[in-house]
Chains A and B, each alone.
Chain A
Amino acid sequence: MKKELQILAVVVIFTAILYIGVEPFAHSQMHKHVDGDNFSYSDLKENTKQGNAENGKALVMGAGACTGCHGIEAIGHKAPMDAATAVGAYGVNPPDLSTAGALYDAKFLANLIENPAHALKVEHKFDPAKGKMHPMTGFYGAGGDKAQEIADMVAFLKSIAPSEITPKQAYLDACGRCHANRYGKIDQLGETPKFKKETDTLKHKVAVLEYQDKLKAYMGKLPPDLSIIIRARSEHFLETFVENPQSHLEGTSMPRVGLTHDGFEKVKAYLTETGDPSKKHREAIGPWVLLFTLVFTVLAYLWKKQEWRDH
């Protein structure tokens, strides 16, 4: 018995060294280590003003000129252009702002309103000195205290945002305009509708392909489908990448998303739903299967003891 355990120890030690070498150690050497910032956006400046939602609404709808490009379905304001037209005009379809106040960090939003390319970390792509303007114009102020006006607009966005957002909605709003998710039946135009006639299905397909062509021209390549990205990348990678794409992929045209920690958790929940749908089944069945093998092993041990008693 003692000898068996010694042999087992040798096998286990060599196997463990092998495993640590090819898995945790090799991967730590292969991938760049990036520390997260816990979605605090500490590189952006603080706006300490107390915002007023009423004033904010007037600015968003008026002097701020947000609604010239963005829709706000929550207050019944439709986007001025449909997605197909907007992608041609801006390179990407400007988002509806209904959920922005809930999904995105307030400090990030304030900085975004003032200087989009800076907040989005795409200044390497959009440099006014070279005549390359970001499609979203920064807010120059409406005549009053600019910081106050920005705080008001953020307060307004927060006031109209729903208190509860589903993971799917979070995905659609934060990622969906660039990234399809075919396992979730989502394309860049939103949820892929079901048509009765094949001609309509094909028409929709063509509309998506045309949108994707414009997006390709704007981004440099078609942003990848995110159906199973949750299994293709580690959780830590996704978290730090969404927080700051440049930290992993310097020069990428993907903008910083600006999600709050909670917003990211929502997006992650949706990515898990489409990319790792068996997670809950695994967690439910796993303990029972292990219990079964444990009982099996105990019974097998008792049988072995009995058989070897007189040997």
Chain B
Amino acid sequence: MAHFEKANSIQEWLDQRLAVTTVKKVMALEYWIPKNINFLWAMGMVLAVTFALLTISGIFLLMYYKPDTGLAFDSVNYTIMSEVGFGWLWRHIHGVAASLVFLVIYIHMFTGIYYGSYKKGREMIWLSGMLLFVVFSAEAFSGYMLPWGQMSYWAGMVITNLFEGFSPDIAGGIMNAPGLVEWIRGDYVPGDAFLTRFFMLHVLLLPLVIIGLIGLHFAALRIPHVNNQDGEEIDYDEAAKLYKEGKTKESKVIPFQPVFLSKDVFVLGVYLILFFYLVFYHFNFAMDPVNFDPADGLKTPAHIYPEWYFLWSYEILRPFPKDPGLIAFGFAQVAFFLLPFLDKSDTVAPANRRGLFKYWFWIMLVDMIVLTVMGKLPPTGIWNHIGLVAAVVFIALFVALPWVTKNENKA
């Protein structure tokens, strides 16, 4: 056993056992962040706080929610909304946060794409972030099942149907998976077994995976460091030395705590104003009216659409015939993972300072928005044509990316 002296203060006692002073220094006081950043660098903190809001509100909802097809709807809409004190507030926070978390994820993602923060040593940050996006999507989908309204039921039906695979006549039926859909549902149609397993995923397994991935995402930042507005390579040892000597103006870095944190907290404040405005006055966008009708397997709603954050990938599936649609949809799910490997340029710089990539970025952003809007509109007439074109453009942009970026290295 190691030798321990008698401690003279709690601080010292903890230091001997947990090295708290060192931890604080490494994780906060001397965790160096580039100074040349803007408010988009605070999205990580905004996401962490939104995730905390989801967890806390979720814990309160979990105390009253009943995962049973006969009880679920009323436990949410009656017990929580009118019998539990402030139950409505927790539910509105949970619903609004579930929607906003994706808005901020998309802003965070496109910030990374714009500033080239996914390559040259930062690949693991990007990949762990994309894994987080996928697990958050699964978390959102499983949570959407729980109120057991019409949209829960029919969205559950449509999405699980995707696992049927390709038509039986493709490649001798090898890509068709008979029984897989039933295995996933635990029944022929979404029912009690379906609801209880999605409940488990939503409140236990997926949150655990998310927490683990958040740890990985943070850890992945440690070695390559966070990017800055110019994609400049910084000598952190030198910058830190300058800062510690008191030459804070000359140094290119700031400590995480308190300098970076103070800006994060301010941006967070602005975000919370929007957040709570939506919670109290404008929540319908996050709580679809159709889901206030109880699930009814005999009554298909006139329009079935996923929540807005899934619409772009839904629209890459929908305009095509079944089998090509599945391929396109599968591609859309992995496309962003491939970004660091499809981008052949060695330059880390804002998109507007890079050759053709400048156009690639803005076309991609606009295309994603077009896909999202078309994904919600009924798939008829002109909407379907625009959706098809936008889906093809999406795929073409990824296929073209290596050639779009290759030329940058010549200059």
> Which A residues lie at the B interface, using CB under 8 A?
3-4, 7-8, 11, 14-15, 17-19, 21-23, 25-26, 29-30, 182-183, 224, 227-229, 231-234, 275, 277-278, 281-282, 285-286, 289-290, 293-294, 296-298, 300-301, 303-304, 306-308, 310-311
Contact with A along B256-280 (1 / 0, CB 8 A): 0011001101101110110111011
* Chain A hits for B39, CB < 8 A: 4, 7-8
Known contacts: A26-B377, A278-B82. The answer to whether A301 contacts B266 by CB under 8 A is yes
Q: Which of A17, A23, A25 sits near B369, CB closer than 8 Å? A: A17
Docked Cα-Cα span, A293 to B267, in Å, equals 12
Q: Is B196 an interface residue (CB 8 A)?
A: no
Docked Cα-Cα span, A26 to B77, in Å, equals 26
A11 touches B262 (CB 8 A): no
A304 touches B265 (CB 8 A): yes
Which residues 54-105 of B have a CB within 8 angstroms of A? Answer: 74, 77-78, 81-82, 86, 88-89, 92, 103
B303 touches A286 (CB 8 A): no
A290 touches B373 (CB 8 A): no
* Chain A hits for B35, CB < 8 A: 311
Known contacts: A232-B293, A304-B263, A311-B249. The answer to whether A11 contacts B107 by CB under 8 A is yes
Known contacts: A7-B38, A26-B373. The answer to whether A183 contacts B262 by CB under 8 A is no
Contact with A along B276-317 (1 / 0, CB 8 A): 110111000101011011000000001100001001000000
B265 touches A293 (CB 8 A): no
A282 touches B88 (CB 8 A): yes
B290 touches A304 (CB 8 A): no
Docked Cα-Cα span, A26 to B270, in Å, equals 28
* Chain B hits for A15, CB < 8 A: 103
Q: Is B254 an interface residue (CB 8 A)?
A: yes
Q: Is B121 an interface residue (CB 8 A)?
A: no
| Other A-B pairs beyond A7-B40, A296-B269, A300-B266, 13, CB < 8 Å | A4-B39, A18-B308, A26-B376, A30-B302, A275-B292, A281-B86, A281-B88, A293-B276, A294-B273, A297-B273, A304-B265, A306-B262, A311-B249
A300 touches B265 (CB 8 A): yes
User: For residue A11, which residue of chain B has the nearest CB?
Assistant: B107
* Chain A hits for B248, CB < 8 A: 310-311
* Chain B hits for A11, CB < 8 A: 40, 107
* Chain A hits for B103, CB < 8 A: 15
Q: Is B372 an interface residue (CB 8 A)?
A: yes
B285 touches A23 (CB 8 A): yes
Q: Name the 8 nearest CB pairs between A and B, nearest first.
A: A297-B269, A21-B373, A286-B280, A278-B88, A232-B292, A26-B376, A307-B262, A300-B266
Q: Which of B40, B268, B308, B373 sits near A300, CB closer than 8 Å? A: B268
Q: Is B44 an interface residue (CB 8 A)?
A: no
Docked Cα-Cα span, A278 to B77, in Å, equals 11
Docked Cα-Cα span, A236 to B132, in Å, equals 40
Smallest Cβ distance from A223 to chain B, in angstroms?
13
Docked Cα-Cα span, A308 to B33, in Å, equals 13
Smallest Cβ distance from A21 to chain B, in angstroms?
3
Docked Cα-Cα span, A304 to B277, in Å, equals 24
Ordered by A's residue number, 14 sampled pairs between the chains whose C-beta atoms are within 8 Å are A11-B40, A30-B378, A228-B77, A234-B289, A278-B89, A281-B86, A282-B88, A286-B280, A290-B273, A294-B273, A300-B262, A304-B262, A304-B265, A304-B266
Smallest Cβ distance from A66 to chain B, in angstroms?
37
B369 touches A183 (CB 8 A): no
Contact with A along B28-43 (1 / 0, CB 8 A): 0000000100111000
Docked Cα-Cα span, A302 to B201, in Å, equals 42
A290 touches B277 (CB 8 A): yes
Docked Cα-Cα span, A307 to B88, in Å, equals 38
Q: Is B208 an interface residue (CB 8 A)?
A: no
Q: Is B365 an interface residue (CB 8 A)?
A: yes
Docked Cα-Cα span, A308 to B260, in Å, equals 9
B289 touches A233 (CB 8 A): yes
User: For residue A3, which residue of chain B has the nearest CB?
Assistant: B38
Docked Cα-Cα span, A294 to B277, in Å, equals 11
Docked Cα-Cα span, A25 to B376, in Å, equals 10
Docked Cα-Cα span, A293 to B268, in Å, equals 10
Docked Cα-Cα span, A29 to B377, in Å, equals 7
Docked Cα-Cα span, A307 to B279, in Å, equals 31
Contact with A along B352-379 (1 / 0, CB 8 A): 0000000000000100010011001110
Known contacts: A290-B277, A304-B262. The answer to whether A30 contacts B303 by CB under 8 A is yes
Docked Cα-Cα span, A90 to B265, in Å, equals 67
A293 touches B273 (CB 8 A): yes
B249 touches A308 (CB 8 A): no
* Chain B hits for A286, CB < 8 A: 276, 280-281
Docked Cα-Cα span, A246 to B93, in Å, equals 37
Docked Cα-Cα span, A11 to B290, in Å, equals 29
* Chain B hits for A278, CB < 8 A: 81-82, 88-89
Docked Cα-Cα span, A233 to B301, in Å, equals 13
Known contacts: A3-B38, A285-B280, A307-B258. The answer to whether A293 contacts B377 by CB under 8 A is no
B107 touches A22 (CB 8 A): no
B262 touches A303 (CB 8 A): yes
Docked Cα-Cα span, A231 to B290, in Å, equals 9
Smallest Cβ distance from B170 to chain A, in angstroms?
33
* Chain B hits for A277, CB < 8 A: 81-82, 88
Docked Cα-Cα span, A11 to B365, in Å, equals 11
User: For residue A17, which residue of chain B has the nearest CB?
Assistant: B369
* Chain A hits for B293, CB < 8 A: 224, 232
